[in-house]
Amino acid sequence: MDWFIHDENLKLYRKVLAETTDEAKRKALVELIRQENAKEPKLKEKG
């Protein structure tokens, strides 16, 4: 379940990032993507 949520979060963040031109929103989305990617090793450990 954790992997599904992780993947869906990344899809959503990337979609919104591609659609927005507001620089503040873009920076926030890039940070959310970075944070979500940082969770990957932890998710792999839980299997």
Helix (H) or strand (E) holding 25: helix 23-38
Domain that holds residue 38: 2-46
Residue 7: Cβ within 10 Å count: 12
What DSSP state is assigned to residue 21?
-
pLDDT for residue 43 is more than 80:
no
What tens digit of pLDDT does each residue of 3-36 get? 899 999 999 999 999 999 999 999 999 999 999 9
Counted domains in the chain: 1
pLDDT for residue 45 is more than 80:
no
Write down the pLDDT at residue 3.
87
Local confidence band at 47 (pLDDT 50, 70, 90 cut-offs): low
Distance in angstroms (rounded) separating the CA atoms of residues 13 and 16: 5
Write down the pLDDT at residue 46.
60
12, 32 Cβ separation under 8 angstroms = no
Please report, for residues 1, 37, 44, 46, 47, the alpha-carbon distance to residue 29 in angstroms, rounded to integers and kept in the order given: 23, 12, 23, 26, 27
